[in-house]
Structure 1
Amino acid sequence: MSAPLDIDQLQTFIAIVDSGSFTKAADRVFKTQSAVSMQMRRLEERVGKQLFIKDGRGNRLTAEGEKLLNYARRIIRLNNEAIAAFDDNRLEGTLRIGTPDDYADRYMPEIIGRFAKTHPNVELYIVCEPSVDLAERMHRGELDIALVTHNPRERMSDVVRTEPLCWVGSANHPLRDDAPIPLAVGRRDCQWRQLACSALDAGGRDYQILFTSWSCTVVAAAVLAGMAVSVMPESALRTGMKVLTQADGFPPLPPVQIGIMKRPGLSVSLMNAITAHISACLDNITPAAVDDDLDGDVKTYARIYPRQRAGQILPGW
């Protein structure tokens, strides 16, 4: 009978892929870099395939390494679920989570899925509202955890992700040069709307707000239909959208940060568990991939997850 794969080696293998280097992976798995390298040599010997090849100063997965990665993630998830199922001290209760509509669309499916599998006895109560309203709910004690746009001038939160904020339009509907910029944005208290309007005002660009909604679905629909321009974080870009840059006459925007608000008095075990899942899921989201058209003047975007082969474009989400 063939010897089973080693769980510890698979965890290290995944850490290398997710962190991007053997050195960073060593910190994540609390091992020396030489121990990490030894584990990978043994894993390669076990499967009989080369998993990494040199790429400049770094390493990248081989085709066989990409194949193993999918299995490794599934094995580790199943292992964690099995351990949780027999844990007499497993978490129980209700966890009330708040998130804006656009964050729920991009991040919550994986967060909820992972947490529910490892903590099946915890009921999740999800509220979708703008960050401003979620902060008020947190102050009233109506939520335990809130995923919000970090804005230290208005609310305190622990930053868990930073990414570019982009101007976006339709790749299939060019803007008129002789008309004010039509905008689809959030409500007046939306931080991204304020950043967009301030940048246009500073640049002397004429604009007109045509659509106002806190729903990311409504805003994205207006952009894809060619009816308006909007601002979105890089991970939210969708197939059919074009990023508008200074070459198109749009001023640069500051990056956005995602933060976590936590209710004082929340069970430390519950808080640590959900925070760990949120951080892990956000870390697993890579920057949007670019697919240039034949003319080279339109770039469309789709999100890529770590389990996807580098450069492979997904049809959307």
Structure 2
Amino acid sequence: MSAPLDIDQLQTFIAIVDTGSFTKAAGRVFKTQSAVSMQMRRLEERVGKQLFIKDGRGNRLTADGDKLLNYARRIIRLNSEAIAAFDDNRLEGTLRIGTPDDYADRYMPEIIGRFAKTHPNVELYIVCEPSMDLADKMGKGELDIALVTHNPLLRQSDVVRTEPLCWVGSANHPLKDDAPVPLAVGRRDCQWRQLACSALDADGREYQILFTSWSSTVVAAAVLAGMAVSILPESALRTGMKVLTANDGFPPLPPVQIGLMKRPGLSTSLVNAITDHITACLDNITPAQVDDDMDGEPKAYSRYYPRLRAGNMIPGW
């Protein structure tokens, strides 16, 4: 019978990916760098695959390393849930979390579900508002954690996920080639609205803003009804939407980064608990299924752009 994977080795493996280096990981898991390197050699021997490969002065995950990462996070998460189930000193209290509603639709169900299993005595208070308003609430101490669109020019946050931002329209309602692009976007200070308008301006393409709303549900409804085009991150795409690329006359957009804001002074154990759940859940988000052409056959959006995940983007590697 094959020996089981070592939990301690998997924790170190995840720490290397999350921190970006063996040296930083050593500090997180309270080991020497040589001990971390030894653990990774033993883990590679155990799975019979090379997990890291030299890349300049650093290292990066191999395809097998990326494959193991998903399993490692799941194993560590289940291990934590099992331990918490028998812990008489569980975390208690209220955790106030803020998130825009488009992130809430896609991310929060799994985050909330898993956190509730491991910390049933912690009450979660969820606020859904735009990133700018959430940052303001964080500054006033009205929230403990906020999942926001990362924008270092406006607010400080730790990047937890990076993914493509794309143009989307209805798969069942073709656009009129000779008409201005009808847009469904957020309010004037919305970062994605500004990106969309700037990209179309630079491309010399005419457009008209027909729908303005902070609600991702309203924007998605306008797109699915064939009344407008919008821009959405990969994880927010829905069945019935068609990704619009350069072949459709739409300019490329920069990727979107999702950041995590934390209130200073918040319980370290509570912050670590929710942060670990958020990071693991976001890393497990799968590429959205959208309609490639008018035949309505679902395709993964990553067909159009390389998939970018914060868990696999290792700074300096």
The normalised TM-score by structure 2 is: 0.74
Match of 1:179 in 2: 179
32-41 vs 138-147, greater mean Cα deviation: 32-41
- Would the alpha carbon gap of residues 88 and 238 (structure 1) be closer, same or farther in structure 2, given more than 3 Å must change? same
Aligned ranges 1:35-50 → 2 under 5 Å: 35-40=42-47
State the shift of 1:85 in Å: 2.5
Relative contact order (C-alpha < 8 Å, sep 6+): which is higher?
2
Pair 1:167-2:174 in alignment: no
Match of 2:6 in 1: 8
Preserved CA contact (<8 Å) 2:165 2:232: yes
Q: Provide Cα deviations, 1:205-236, integer angstroms capped at 9, x if missing partner.
A: 11111111111111111111111000001121
Q: Distance in 2 between matches of 1:5 and 1:215?
A: 50
Runs of 4+ in 1 over 6 A off after TM superposition: none
Q: Provide Cα deviations, 1:266-294, integer angstroms capped at 9, x if missing partner.
A: 11111111111111111112334576559
- Would the alpha carbon gap of residues 300 and 231 (structure 1) be closer, same or farther in structure 2, given more than 3 Å must change? farther
Pair 1:250-2:250 in alignment: yes
Q: Distance in 1 between matches of 2:208 and 2:216?
A: 19
Q: Distance in 2 between matches of 1:187 and 1:58?
A: 41
Question: Where do 5+ consecutive residues of structure 2 fail to align?
Answer: 30-35, 49-61, 303-317
- Give SS of 2:160's match: strand
Q: Provide Cα deviations, 1:11-38, integer angstroms capped at 9, x if missing partner.
A: 959x79xx8xxxx9xx899564442244
Q: Distance in 1 between matches of 2:63 and 2:158?
A: 31
- Would the alpha carbon gap of residues 201 and 78 (structure 1) be closer, same or farther in structure 2, given more than 3 Å must change? closer
Q: How many residues align?
A: 270
Match of 2:151 in 1: 151
Preserved CA contact (<8 Å) 1:95 1:122: yes
State the shift of 1:88 in Å: 3.4
Q: Distance in 2 between matches of 1:209 and 1:299?
A: 29
Q: Distance in 1 between matches of 2:294 and 2:189?
A: 40
RMSD, matched Cα: 3.5
Q: Distance in 1 between matches of 2:117 and 2:199?
A: 44
Aligned ranges 1:1-317 → 2 under 5 Å: 6=4, 8=6, 12=10, 32-40=39-47, 58-59=63-64, 73=74, 79-288=79-288, 292=292, 300-301=298-299
Q: Distance in 2 between matches of 1:257 and 1:191?
A: 12
Question: Where do 5+ consecutive residues of structure 1 fail to align?
Answer: 42-56, 305-317
Q: Which amino acid aligns with 2:89?
A: N
Preserved CA contact (<8 Å) 1:98 1:129: yes
Preserved CA contact (<8 Å) 1:97 1:145: yes
Preserved CA contact (<8 Å) 1:181 1:208: yes
- Would the alpha carbon gap of residues 137 and 89 (structure 1) be closer, same or farther in structure 2, given more than 3 Å must change? same
- Would the alpha carbon gap of residues 292 and 133 (structure 1) be closer, same or farther in structure 2, given more than 3 Å must change? closer
Q: Distance in 2 between matches of 1:76 and 1:142?
A: 31
